[in-house]
Amino acid sequence: MQTFEKYDELRWAIGFDWKIKVNWINPRAYISIMPQFYHRRVMDYPSNYTLSGSEKDNTMATLVISTSYLHNKLTPQFFWMCDISNRANMFIPSLKWEQSHHWNYTLGAVLFTGREEGAGFQVFENKNQIYFTVAYRF
């Protein structure tokens, strides 16, 4: 029989969203930069026990950078998630094109890296993928 153990935990995060103008990258639109930092601490964490692959203290950061071209029809975006505790990363670059109000297309990739065997995103290193979606809005 599987049992669940209760532990108190403290979670907090901080994030900033701002837009900057970089004329040589995009003279007509701003570039959005959105970093975030997360921390999770499990109280009364038992020694030599792994709680779903988590540590007593877990820290993570994310960064999203995006802009738009052609009157918001073409939108490149870059997402980075850094698992600081497990020294692992996930990257999601994508490019979205809105052909019309009804049709839009997205080309992207999901890439994983990790330094510690079996920790963080390292377990997904052989699951990198490239995707293309076609969407129709009614």
Note down pLDDT in tens along the chain; length 138 residues: 566 667 788 999 999 999 999 888 888 889 999 999 999 888 776 665 555 556 678 899 999 999 999 888 999 999 999 998 888 899 999 999 999 989 999 999 999 988 777 677 877 878 899 999 999 998
In angstroms, the Cα distances linking 40 to 52, 86, 104, 106 are: 13, 13, 37, 33
- Read off the pLDDT of residues 64-82 as tens digits, 9 standing for 90 and up: 999 999 888 999 999 999 9
**Residue showing tokens 């701002």:** 18
Using an 8 Å Cβ cutoff, are 69 and 97 in contact? no
pTM of the model: 0.80
Q: Degrees (nearest 5) of the Cα angle 96, 137, 28? A: 35
